[in-house]
Amino acid sequence: MLRIAVFVSGGGSNLQNIIDSINDGDLKDVKIARVVASKAGTKAEQRARKHQIPVSIYSLTDDANTAILLDQLTADSVDMLVLAGYLQKISPQLIRAFPDRIINIHPALLPKHGGKGMYGIRPHEAVLAAGEKFTGATVHTVNEEYDQGQILLQREVKVLPEDDAESLQARVMSEAEKIILPQVIQKFALAKKAGAAPFVSDI
């Protein structure tokens, strides 16, 4: 069983997608051991509590909070961290604690339209401003540089002539993010079950 902690900051659409994929049996041998929210009161936190998933509120500005969170993740026997719309930079302590076992979903085809400040609607605005014909989503490992980790999986989405940033964001979510994030998590689960160490190595 792959035990994951899902990090969230906002509405929690990707969190809900993971929950639904587990409940529907599409995502096997995976359990969300904890949800970590960057602030209290988000819809993502509400989604977690509705499904009786433990929630931690975690601020990256305090090393003491990082130590507390690491203790919680250890107690939860968490195998990997999944950043699903998490808008803060991951601390070096967490990266060292989970080497090659932190993944992020980014709403663009990296290395294009990534980096500091490129989150939420901004990548979609940048895609339209650049006149791109295709965009999509990327799942990648997380290191100490924004969006610079190893690309694990991408899925393209066509940019339509009538698209604005909001419509493009919605389609990237439904046609790319919703599909590839569970696929990568499932690969980690299968790798762990097979005894791969580290279990990201063949993904």
Give the active site residue among 51, 106, 113, 124. Answer: 106
Average pLDDT, stretch 153-173?
97
pLDDT of 39 higher than 60? yes
| Two structure tokens written together for 79 | 């195998």
What does the pLDDT read at residue 126? 97
Q: For the structural domain made of 2-193, what CATH number should be given?
A: 3.40.50.170
Weakest mean pLDDT among 38-42, 78-82, 158-162, 176-180:
38-42
* Residue 194, C-beta contacts closer than 8 angstroms, at least 6 positions apart: none
Catalytic residue check, 106: yes
Contact call for residues 84 and 6 (beta carbons, < 8 A)? yes
Which pLDDT band holds residue 60 (cuts at 50, 70, 90)?
low
For residue range 72-109, list pLDDT tens digits in order.
999 999 999 999 999 888 889 999 999 999 999 999 99
Give Dmax over CA atoms of the chain in angstroms. Answer: 50
| Nearest in space to 177 (alpha carbons), one of 124, 117, 132 | 124
Indicate the pTM of the whole model: 0.93
Mean pLDDT of the chain: 92
The Cα-based distances of 44 to 6, 12, 41, 50, 157 in angstroms read: 10, 4, 8, 10, 25
The domain locations on the chain are: 2-193
